[in-house]
Homo-oligomer: A and B are copies of this chain.
Amino acid sequence: MTIAIDAARLLARLKELGATGRDEAGRLCRIAASDADRAGRNLLCGWLRQAGLRIEIDRIGNIYGIWEPDGVSGNPMVMGSHIDTVIDAGIYDGCYGVLSGLAVIEAMQQAGLRPSRPLTVVAFTNEEGVRYAPDMMGSLVAAGGLATDDALAIVGTDGTTLGAELHRIGYAGSREPGFLKPHAYVELHVEQGPILEAEGQPIGAVENLQGISWQKVTIGGMANHAGTTPMVMRRDAGVAAAQTLAFLDRLARDTQGAVATVGTIRFEPNAINVIPSSAIFTVDLRNPDEERLKGQEVALDTFLNGLRSEGFEVTTERLARFQPVTFAPEIVAAIEASAAERQLVCRRMTSGAGHDAQMIVRIAPAAMIFVPSKGGISHNPAEYTADADLIAGANVLLDVARKFSR
């Protein structure tokens, strides 16, 4: 029997949560463990209670809403994401996955279905990492990747500690993170990229998540007068940096699955008539295949060695490195099967961004469902997914949750 989530209620809740925690300028800013985050958490917990769920909060502030019908036990089927936001956010990122998880449980309750294991919806703390680094913190702690007390002691950009702020807003729970071990975890999320929209596909079955390599590169050349220094006598750090950027772009276009981005750059002394003595820029390389990602890194190193042999001083600093994540094939297959049944075109795809699912996959089978993001835009008030796509994605989540809680 095919059932469906309550579409009108899901859309209304998305709007209501999206209206909660805005600043004086009207910007959505539910930064982790802020007053605005508290307002969003309070709203969510009210809905969880309305659905008759048992609410559990762990010491890192992750909120679990558990549906455990009488006589049902075992590791729960878990759905979720996060409700904290960036500064001036859109209303879908994270919230859509949490509210859809709740909608799935409600739809199963409404249909009188009795699962053979509990179902749980979770909102992880501080996925965005705006105030407290690293991001995806709540799921990382829940998966055992970061000690709870270490995470609570992290000092934020405003000098506060996460632990004190969670306590202040009333969401420092008592359960030990990791107390709940998922039987499976499925995260429904807006794509935050342009692929589904561009290809006209409403559902993405996310089979893996890119590896990420972040570096800071500093190229040292020689400052000199822009008018009096002949080309052959220059060691122009800006030109060397430009050649590196152009190289990385070509390399990514020629490497399967690769993307490469130089998002920040700075020249010194940064004067119109002085040849740059140094150029400092960041490199963001991603690939779902670890060997290919390593290949991109090696190719960059080789290119930089070429600059060194031309007399440039080049230093690199590693800022972040995550290996690619492979999601559970049986969940990915279930997503595809649901989409097929519901006559929704579906594609297997890679997540370019980081998500809580990449942490939870360390302790349980996990995968993600994507729905289209208009123009690929996210972390921006212009973030938008059409209602029909939101509803379709939530119904696929419902099918997958039913399957893994049977």
Assuming the contacts A263-B276, A284-B272, asked whether A238 and B227 have C-beta atoms less than 8 A apart, the reply is no
Asked if A246 and B242 make an inter-chain contact with CB atoms under 8 angstroms apart, the answer reads yes
Contacts of A233 in B (CB 8 A): 194-195, 198, 376
CB distance from A64 to the nearest CB of B (A): 28
Assuming the contacts A238-B245, A249-B236, asked whether A225 and B267 have C-beta atoms less than 8 A apart, the reply is no
CB distance from A2 to the nearest CB of B (A): 31
The residues in A between 227 and 257 inclusive whose CB is less than 8 angstroms from any CB of B are 227-233, 236, 238-239, 241-246, 249, 252-253
Q: How far is the CA of A353 from the CA of B193 in the complex (A)?
A: 49
The one of B224, B263, B270, B377 in contact with A272, judged by C-beta atoms closer than 8 angstroms, is: B263
Q: A25 an interface residue at 8 Å Cβ cutoff?
A: no
Q: A259 an interface residue at 8 Å Cβ cutoff?
A: yes
Contacts of A236 in B (CB 8 A): 249, 261
The one of B193, B244, B271, B276 in contact with A225, judged by C-beta atoms closer than 8 angstroms, is: B193
Asked if B284 and A226 make an inter-chain contact with CB atoms under 8 angstroms apart, the answer reads yes
Q: How far is the CA of A245 from the CA of B239 in the complex (A)?
A: 6
A-B contact pairs, 21 of them (CB 8 A): A193-B227, A194-B224, A194-B228, A195-B233, A198-B233, A224-B376, A226-B263, A226-B352, A227-B286, A227-B352, A227-B353, A228-B353, A228-B376, A230-B259, A233-B376, A238-B265, A239-B249, A242-B246, A263-B274, A264-B271, A265-B270
20 further contact pairs, Cβ within 8 A, besides A214-B272, A227-B286, A236-B261: A193-B229, A210-B227, A212-B227, A225-B378, A227-B259, A228-B376, A228-B378, A231-B252, A238-B245, A238-B263, A239-B246, A242-B245, A242-B262, A243-B246, A261-B273, A262-B276, A263-B273, A264-B267, A265-B270, A272-B282
